A and B are shown apart, each in its own frame.
Chain A
Amino acid sequence: MDTRRATLDDVRTLMARTTGDEKHEESTTSTMDALWVLYDRVLRIDPDTPDAEERDRFIVSKGHGPAALYAVLAAKGFFPAEWLDRFLEHDGHLGSHPDRTQVPGIEASTGSLGHGLPMAVGVALALRAKGAHDPRTTVLCGDAELNEGSNWEAILLAPQLALGGLTLLVIDNHSSSLTMQPWAERIGSFGWDVHVVNGHDHDALERALRVRHADVPTAIVADVPEGEW
């Protein structure tokens, strides 16, 4: 497969090579379109130099259900597709939560919920302190993950630090036991610019993911039907 010309169909084929992640099947598929739009259209990350200083930063905070993430990374050439055949296996590199010390292109080791957004705030601050105003910092969370209070600490903090380069992408597959609606009013009241989009609409996702203000962070809620892919 030519990783420069990979398609979403290639991602689906690659994802089929991962097995044994039945528990989180739902969340795996709910993220695929957003991940594809990010890596195919938005993020500037060269798989040959995934640590390049000028890259965009992307933290997948919702570490569970990583099959779509691994498939997209393999499709884009971050690591050999053969790695997918050993998903969850003892001698493989791909666990059910991504490990930055094992997988090229993984910015943060996650799995315990509520860690990624505070770290992303730190990354965005560090980029500003370095004078690196071009790279953007994007973090993907799940709707139920936002039950965790640490996220709301960071949601309170980021607008007050005027982190315009920060994007929070919430994949809302309606898995939260608690009501999270209305997203725009709730997150917006903390000072974020909130966009609710169809989580399968590639153009709408791209438009929202490209929004960047000088000093206001952006939150995108990618809505996917409950229990659906």
Chain B
Amino acid sequence: MVMRDMRQAFGATVSDLVHVDERVAVVLADISTSYFERAIGANPDRVINVGIMEQTMVGVAAGFAMEGFHPIAHSLSPFMAERPYEQLKVDFGYQGLGGTFVGFGGSYDYASSGGTHHAPADVGVMLGIPGMEVFIPGHGDEMDAVLRSTYANGRPTYIRGSLTTNTDAHDVQPGRIQVVRRGTGATVLVFGPMLDRTVAATEGLDVIVAYAASLRPFDEVGLAAIVGDAPVLVVVEPFYEGTSAAVLTDALANRPVRYTSIGMPRAFIHSYGEPGDVDADLGLDTAGIARRLRAILMR
């Protein structure tokens, strides 16, 4: 079976939603338009390419939402989550409107493009908008499942797409954590596309590996049950280190848990190459995560 990448899955699923639900409107800003040629041809009134204007892309999507549509807007992560941030905050968040915003490229999928095209802050800033739901699928089929389960939820929803994927898809019901590997020691909670490398990095370690594809909603009860009385929680997250901290400390309030995050350091990257090259530089490849984990667990 040829695995669809997450961006192909996004294009196919959103095109299908346009076809099956006449209340779906897609607003693009010149990115990924090739995935939507047929949808634009079939429904030119509901699939709109506004050109390279991300503020207006989000404003137009809000106009569709005001009229009862389920808008889906999309660009690369820096131009979806960061450039039109105030439109997401005001036009959707403050106004209480629902819409789906799909970013691709965080944190450094487009490693060779330089820091203008990196977006390791995307999930953090989206969590800063009250009511904004945040999903981090780790596979094309998870992208499909997340889109279908959230597009009509009536709430603003950010989906962090990535070209980096895990080999297998997991069942990603909103706000559910699943245990991928059982153990008796520390809990290693992994978000989205970091799963495969983290599973490999925990080879030979007696730890629980749990997987989550959403930060809001978050499975607070599930995490508390998985962590149990064990005092150590390590998070492996594909964005800035500590992005998940506020959510997790809420989930584990009043428990004596030692929390450590393995994620992207808060520094700009000025090197190029492939994402794997940057992973190795930052210690976010399998070997680097294994080293960090062993150091944390030895403490």
Contacts and interface: CB of A to CB of B under 8 A. Distances in A.
A108 B55 contact: no
B66 A126 contact: yes
Given A109-B95, A119-B91, A125 B66 contact: no
Contacts of A119: 59-60, 62-63, 66, 91
Given A122-B66, A128-B45, A115 B53 contact: no
B171 to A, nearest CB: 34
B200 interface: no
A3 B67 CA distance: 28
Interface string B51-82: 10101101111111111110100000000000
Contacts of A154: 53, 56, 59
Given A122-B61, A153-B56, A112 B86 contact: yes
A118 B59 contact: yes
Interface of A: 100-101, 107-109, 112, 114-115, 117-130, 149-150, 153-154, 156-157, 161
11 contacts: A109-B94, A115-B59, A115-B90, A115-B91, A117-B59, A119-B59, A119-B66, A123-B67, A125-B48, A125-B63, A157-B60
A118 B87 CA distance: 10
Nearest to B54: A153
Nearest to B90: A112
Interface of B: 25, 27, 45-46, 48, 50-51, 53, 55-56, 58-69, 71, 86-87, 90-91, 94-96
A158 B197 CA distance: 47
- Give the top 10 A-B pairs by smallest Cβ distance, nearest first: A122-B63, A118-B59, A126-B67, A122-B60, A153-B53, A129-B45, A123-B63, A153-B56, A150-B55, A118-B56
A132 to B, nearest CB: 9
A130 B67 contact: yes
A150 B25 contact: no
A101 B95 CA distance: 7
